[in-house]
Amino acid sequence: MKQSITKSKKTDLLHFAEDLTRLLSHVQIDPSILTPINYRSELRKFFKSNVYNPQFIYPDTTKQSVNTILAGLWRRLINLSLPSDIEYYIESLIYHTALLQRARLHIGTPLFSRFAEKLYALNALTAQKYNDCLPTVTFADTEGARIYNAYEIQEYAERYIASQSHLHSIGACIDHRTNFSVRAGISNLYIGSRVRRNEQNVVRLMVHEVESHLLQKRNSRAGGPLYLLRTQPTRELYAEGMAVYNEVTTGTITENAYKMYFYRLQAVAMMDKSFREIYSYLSSYMSKNKAFITAFRVKRGISDTSKPGGYPKDALYVMGYKKVSDYLLSGGNIEFLYRTQVPQLGKLLSKYDLLSSVPCQMPQFL
């Protein structure tokens, strides 16, 4: 049943959300600060030895404390006198922000893994349990598919975007800095200059990056600061889960792509082992280069990769797919996954009539 809050309280809540989400964006853990400055030299050392585990050095992250800001936000939250369920939700987000800052400040130290596990509420044992409950997946046929280079992928993306009326004002550009990855921004699809994908995987990328991630980001930005009130791990869980779910339901997912998601989960389930042990396991199922990258993704954030622990984010692709599948099968609101990404937040904003009137952009295949 819908309820309402006063107009003045809604204004106060919007200002509060702006300040909290600004702080969240300041302390979030992004790939740039988890990339060691000696990555390439350690890669060379690793492949010259049969026993060596990389010893990574990380860029110095900001040491500015946010405790004073968080204390101020806490006092403001109490003074807002919001409904108890909204207050509890934001309270948890403030706690998460404090934990996020502590994890960020401990990148490169033995304590980083401990904070990362708390952030994601996920450890090696939890990841291992998901192996036995994954939905069945049917793969797209890639036999005879030709290989596209980055510029051909750009041309394909531009044609695809032009053919879809809901994807107006979106571009596709070549990224010369992150050469080997494809990622979605707010208004552009960025294609690494050295990316190569087979034709079916290019089709899959349109679903994963454009129709899923890019539309979700645009909707969240258009909805305003209330839409951004979500923890980093929960946002990532539903964002990646929605992207993989769309790949599966549209029949565009390839066997290699699903294997990549699956073995990322396996790597997280092994993160208490050394880098070398994880790599040795993975190299039985993929190329040596891919095995190194997958092991690195799980062990990033710690310096001595012979030690237990790591960064469990990569389990979220498969775990998110299961979470989104279960949510939608139980009658969940798919617009919440495209507006706020997090169903709990969408339900809360809907209850108090706080959803934006801006239309939600959805993929036409849904």
The rounded distance, in Å, linking the Cα atoms of 316 and 9 is 36
- pLDDT average, residue stretch 245-257: 94
Token readout for 184 is: 């979605």
Q: Give residue 122's pLDDT band: very low, low, confident or very high (50, 70, 90).
A: confident
Please, where are the H alpha helices in 28-175? 39-47, 67-80, 84-105, 112-120, 124-129, 150-163
Q: Give residue 315's pLDDT band: very low, low, confident or very high (50, 70, 90).
A: very high
User: How many of the other CB atoms lie within 10 Å of CB of 124?
Assistant: 20
> In one letter, which amino acid is 332?
G
**What is the H or E stretch that residue 258 is in?**
helix 255-269
Q: State yes or no: pLDDT of 321 exceeds 90.
A: yes
Q: Please, what is the average pLDDT of the chain?
A: 92
The rounded distance, in Å, linking the Cα atoms of 298 and 112 is 12
Q: Give residue 125's pLDDT band: very low, low, confident or very high (50, 70, 90).
A: confident
Q: Give residue 64's pLDDT band: very low, low, confident or very high (50, 70, 90).
A: low
Q: Give residue 364's pLDDT band: very low, low, confident or very high (50, 70, 90).
A: confident
- Whether the Cβ atoms of residue 314 and residue 34 lie closer than 8 Å to each other: no
pLDDT number for residue 133: 66
Question: Over the stretch 253-291, which tens digit does the pLDDT of each residue have?
Answer: 999 999 999 999 999 999 999 999 999 999 999 999 999
Write out the DSSP string of 57-82. Answer: --PPPP----HHHHHHHHHHHHHHT-
Tell me which DSSP letter residue 304 carries.
Answer: B
